[in-house]
Amino acid sequence: MVKIAVLIDSEFEESEYSKPVEAFKEKGYEIINLGLEEKKEVHGKRNKLSVIIDKAVKHVQVDDFDALLIPGGHSPDKLKANKEAVSFVREFFLSKKPVFVICHGPLLLVAADVIKGKKITGYKAIKQDLIDAKATFLDKEVVIDDNLVSSREPKDLWAFINACLKKLAT
């Protein structure tokens, strides 16, 4: 069974978590919520959704998963300050397995120093961060560059989900 790691912390964007996770589960994929502390309950930024962390990121290996989803909101900004989270993202990205990021999710890729030369999109507020990391920013609903699928914001979710599902099917 395909296992998808979802790396989140508090103040994640609810729809950027719930909609892809729902679509992945409908396809029979297993979701493992990763965070900084196992069994911790993290809340979305609008307090409409909470998620229990299945495993602490410091206790997992990249080989345990087939893909990585990083939702946006303020969660990526919090996670980028944690060396284990950044190290996991770096190692995962370099493994060439699919990495799905939306909105502020690319901030973790910037912290992991892996997007130099990559085509990417994200929320308009992080455009300069992506450019400063030497990525090519494209203002499109979805950008696919090798193992990386990126999207801008919740209004782009269906295009993002479809691109992620297509990437998982290959």
Strand-pairing partners, residue 42, are 51
d(CA 152, CA 143): 9
Residue 103 annotated among the catalytic residues of the structure? yes
- The active-site residue out of 59, 74, 103, 164 is 103
Distances (CA, A) of 15 to 11, 23, 71, 73: 12, 12, 9, 10
Burial 102-138 (b: 16+ CB within 10 A, else e): bbbbbbbbbbbebbeebbbbbbeebbebbeebebebb
Q: Which of 124, 7, 94, 18 is nearest to 55 (CA)?
A: 7
Strand-pairing partners, residue 149, are 100, 144
* Token pair 């919520």 in the structure block, residue: 33
- The active-site residue out of 43, 59, 74, 104 is 104
Residue 74 annotated among the catalytic residues of the structure? no
Catalytic residues: 103-104
